[in-house]
Structure 1
Amino acid sequence: MNKKIGMYSAIVTLIGVVGFAVSMILGNDGGGYLFSLFISWGFVPMICSFSAIGAKANKAAGYTAIAFSSVYAVLVGIVYFAQLTTIRLTKLNEQALAILNYKNLGSLFFNYDLFGYAFMALSTFFISFTIETKNKKDKWLKILLLAHGVFAVSCVVMPILGVFSGSTGSGNTSGVIALEFWCAYFIPICVLSYQYFKDNKEEN
């Protein structure tokens, strides 16, 4: 059952990432927010599945990854659900929008979103230590998950330094390019994760 949940959750995460990438290209903000929720809904059980099938010696790393993935899901869930409901359906004044609107780079919710992805990056970093490398695909998965942890630093440091404060339309374009790069990076993680769960022969 653990490997099946892992396989299905990897597929859900992949659908979310691809859908998010396409939504960004088409300029469909609502679709981007919805698919971002799908990413979080697939990511948490995927991390839990890695931990479940991992060796007992690596349980601490697995539990840490689960905890960080849960924080990520809560933070981004609050941000994107607010965009799909309150921001989209309610007439808010400029002050409220300056705080709650994700599209305002440097806003409170934009920073919350980055903070959430910092926890996602930390989750992939720790879960990489549970991967048992039996072939080249497993090695690449471990490397990608481990390297993805580096994103945690930028996600925390950039908002603190005010990198996005006062950004203009060109800043939004740069943001889309950065997000598309992230999607291109994370898609192989989803595919390799599916293969990892599929090829796993034992559940510890």
Structure 2
Amino acid sequence: MNKRIGMYSAIVTLIGVIGFAVSMLLGKDVGSYLFSLFISWGFVPMICSFSANGTKENKAAGYTAIAFSSVYAVLVGLVYFAQLTTIRLAKLNEQATAILNYKNLGSLFFNYDLFGYAFMALSTFFIAFTVEVKNKKDKWLKTLLLVHGVFAVSCIIMPMLGVFNADMKGGSIIGVLVLEFWCAYFAPICILAYQYFKKNEEN
């Protein structure tokens, strides 16, 4: 059952990543926010499945990854659900919009979103230690998960340094390109994770 949940959650996460990438290219904000929620809903059980299938020696790493993934899901969930509801449907004044609207670079919710993805990156870093390498695909999966942890540093430091702000020229385009790169990086993780769980299920 643990492995099946891992397979299904990897598929849900992959669908979310692809939907998110396509929505950004088409300029569909609602789609981007909705698929971002799907990513978090698939990611948490996927991390839990990795942890459940890990060895006893790696339980601490697995539990740490689960904790970090939960924080990620809560933070980004609050950000994107607010965009789909309050921001989209309510008539907010200029000050409230400046704080809550994710599209405003450097806004509170924009920074919360980056902070959430920092926890996602930390989660992948720790869960990588639970992956048992038995072939090249497993090695690639483990490496991609570990390297993805590096994103945590930029997600924390950039908001503190004010890299993204309302006066930034071409900020929206740069943001889209960065996120498209992330999608291209994370999609293989989902595919390899599915194959990892499927192989263990068959065994």
- TM-score bracket relative to the smaller structure: over 0.9
What are the ranges of 5 or more consecutive residues in structure 2 without an aligned counterpart? none
CA distance in 2, matches of 1:7, 1:134: 18
* Distance 1:73-1:100 versus aligned 2 partners, 3 A rule: same
- Residue 51 of structure 2 is matched in structure 1 by 51
Contact 1:53/1:202 (8 A) holds in 2: no
Question: Residue 196 of structure 1 aligns to which amino acid in structure 2?
Answer: Y
CA distance in 2, matches of 1:19, 1:6: 20
Contact 1:13/1:42 (8 A) holds in 2: yes
CA distance in 1, matches of 2:126, 2:75: 19
Matched, 1:154 2:154: yes
Contact 1:51/1:62 (8 A) holds in 2: yes
CA distance in 2, matches of 1:148, 1:126: 10
Question: Residue 10 of structure 1 aligns to which amino acid in structure 2?
Answer: A
Identity %: 82
- Residue 22 of structure 2 is matched in structure 1 by 22
Find the residue that maps to 1:200 and give its secondary structure. helix
Question: Residue 38 of structure 1 aligns to which amino acid in structure 2?
Answer: F
- TM-score of the two chains, using structure 2 as the length reference: 0.98
CA distance in 1, matches of 2:154, 2:133: 28
Kindly provide the CA deviation profile for residues 16-66 of structure 1, in whole angstroms up to 9, marking residues without a partner as x: 000000000000000000000000000000000000011011000000000
Question: Residue 49 of structure 1 aligns to which amino acid in structure 2?
Answer: S
Question: Residue 5 of structure 2 aligns to which amino acid in structure 1?
Answer: I
CA distance in 2, matches of 1:91, 1:166: 21
Q: What's the CA shift for 1:165?
A: 1.8
Question: Residue 119 of structure 2 aligns to which amino acid in structure 1?
Answer: F
- Residue 69 of structure 1 is matched in structure 2 by 69
- Residue 94 of structure 1 is matched in structure 2 by 94
Question: Residue 2 of structure 2 aligns to which amino acid in structure 1?
Answer: N
Question: Residue 141 of structure 1 aligns to which amino acid in structure 2?
Answer: L
- Residue 166 of structure 2 is matched in structure 1 by 166
- Residue 133 of structure 1 is matched in structure 2 by 133
| Count of residue pairs brought into register by the alignment | 203
CA RMSD of aligned residues (A): 1.1
- Residue 41 of structure 2 is matched in structure 1 by 41
What are the ranges of 5 or more consecutive residues in structure 1 without an aligned counterpart? none
Q: What's the CA shift for 1:166?
A: 2.8
CA distance in 1, matches of 2:201, 2:26: 41
Q: What's the CA shift for 1:153?
A: 0.2
CA distance in 2, matches of 1:164, 1:171: 7
